[in-house]
Amino acid sequence: MSVTYHIDPGGMIKGRLRVPGDKSISHRSIMLASIAEGVTRISGFLEGEDAIATLNAFRALGVRVEGPEGGNVTVHGVGLRGLRRPGAALDCGNAGTAMRLLAGLLAGQSFDCELTGDESLRARPMKRIADPLNRMGALIETAEGGRPPLRVHGGRRLAGIDYAMPMASAQVKSALLLAGLYAEGKTCVTEPAPTRDHTERMLKAFGCEVEKNQRTVCVRGGPTLRASAIEVPADISSAAFFMVAAAIAPGSDLTLEHVGTNPTRTGVIDILRLMGANLELVNERTAGGEPVADIRVRGSRLRGIAVPPELVPLAIDEFPAVFIAAANAEGTTVVTGAQELRVKESDRIQTMADGLRALGARAEPTLDGMRVTGGSYHGGQVASRGDHRVAMAFAVAGLRATTAVTVTDCVNVATSFPGFVELAGTAGLKIRAN
């Protein structure tokens, strides 16, 4: 199946809208609800392909899951030791989060299991989780080059470890914490820079004791997780495309409702504000243990900046959108320390640089980031290389192009943002898909 976006130039972004539920929280809600005792009811669940892959994986592991229907899911937990061997390999589709977190959770089970995915996922690195999990006593085999599929051998005796991550990664941290639930003693993970803490927050919501000291987080093996109601906020990673759209289009005035504003995820807000975006948080509150707010963004005159290194891990998924903001800013924006972008659904540094250049924008990729000099750019054809966030970023770029923009290979947008084209059109983007 092939999907191509066609974006006519010009327009402004107005109104109030709510983007789909947070993908990271949706993944984790299914996982922890499944190994909890009792019935968990989830609202706001993201009905995108990635989160559905996680839901289907736990059905295959013997968990009764009702829904999703209108964002509502009911999970009948089986307890920490209640998962059952699936009849076939678990297909994670395009979801790297699902595969990496499942590897940690499955490392402590009594049965063998294989994790696979689509062509894109099978090209992504997995030794970063396999190696520390194997240090805990797990036995996880990868394919050539440390890539999927993963073969997770059950019946292993896990022991807690102290692990200092060489690179900031919420997925690695979460995989080790989930394995730590099945390990003897204490499992501690120290991260070099703060990353999203949804796993820690949700573990607490399910009654698990979590110790945190600066950048080290620890869990002890053998807790009893108790069912909990989970409210999934709107995904700030999805909202980021509309934040940038409203910021770069003169005359725009957009309010994004009920967006998750977890401080480990708000790097994109801080970066856009440093660039001069007219952005404010209103109606700040807490929902389901997570901070949320409505975000109002108006058309702004952006300026290039050197992105502070401490903000990079807090905005790692939002950089495709940030690069579009940079192409519409006065001066040069410099991003460093973002080598993680090279091992996402695509090499996002190279893919974004190639796309920007195809539109006539000035972009210089580096080993760990990019230099983007703002100015006018024309339309043309951009290859998203099957990367959902790249596809949506270049759809937004069409607002300021001088001629039409075509973005190819956009089918994977459904993994994180079902209904993107329709919602973007409602907000004022001149977009159609075929």
Q: Tens place of pLDDT for every residue, the chain, 434 residues?
A: 799 999 999 999 999 999 999 999 999 999 999 999 999 999 999 999 999 999 999 999 999 999 999 999 999 999 999 999 999 999 999 999 999 999 999 999 999 999 999 998 999 999 999 999 999 999 999 999 999 999 999 999 999 999 999 988 999 999 999 999 999 999 999 999 889 999 999 999 999 999 999 999 999 999 999 999 999 999 999 999 999 999 999 999 999 999 999 999 999 999 999 999 999 999 999 887 789 999 999 999 999 999 999 999 999 999 999 999 999 999 999 999 999 999 898 999 999 999 999 999 999 999 999 999 999 999 999 999 999 999 999 999 999 999 999 999 999 999 899 999 999 999 999 999 99
Tokens of 272: 């856009």
**238 membership: H or E segment, kind and range:** helix 236-248
Alpha helices in 275-336 (DSSP H): 319-327
Taking alpha carbons only, the member of 192, 24, 155, 187 closest to residue 100 is 24
Tokens of 203: 């573990």
CATH of 5-21+233-433, one of 3.40.50.300, 3.30.1360.120, 3.65.10.10, 3.10.180.10: 3.65.10.10
Q: Would you give the end-to-end CA distance of the chain in angstroms?
A: 10
pLDDT at position 289 is 79
Pairing between strand 113-116 and 90-91? parallel
Catalytic residues: 317
Q: Is 191 exposed, middle or buried (0-12, 13-18, 19+ CB in 10 A)?
A: buried
pLDDT at position 168 is 87
Strand partners, 113: 152
Three-state DSSP state, 249: coil
Tokens of 88: 């076939």
pLDDT at position 44 is 95
How far from chain centre, in Å, is Cα 406? 25
How far is residue 389's CA from residue 319's CA, in Å, rounded to a whole number? 9
Tokens of 206: 């399910």
Half-sphere exposure of 260 (CA within 13 A, CB side): 27
CATH of 23-231, one of 3.30.479.30, 3.40.50.410, 3.30.470.10, 3.65.10.10: 3.65.10.10
> What is the model's pTM?
0.89
How far is residue 258's CA from residue 414's CA, in Å, rounded to a whole number? 21
Instruction: Please state the φ and ψ torsions of residue 416, each to the nearest 5 degrees.
Output: -125, -20
Q: Do domains 5-21+233-433 and 23-231 have the same CATH topology?
A: yes
Tokens of 113: 């299991």
pLDDT at position 288 is 73
Could you tell me if 14 and 428 are in contact, meaning their C-beta atoms sit under 8 angstroms apart?
A: yes
- To the nearest 10°, report the CA torsion of 172, 173, 177, 183: 60
How far is residue 247's CA from residue 272's CA, in Å, rounded to a whole number? 8
pLDDT at position 197 is 94
Domain ranges in the chain? 5-21+233-433, 23-231
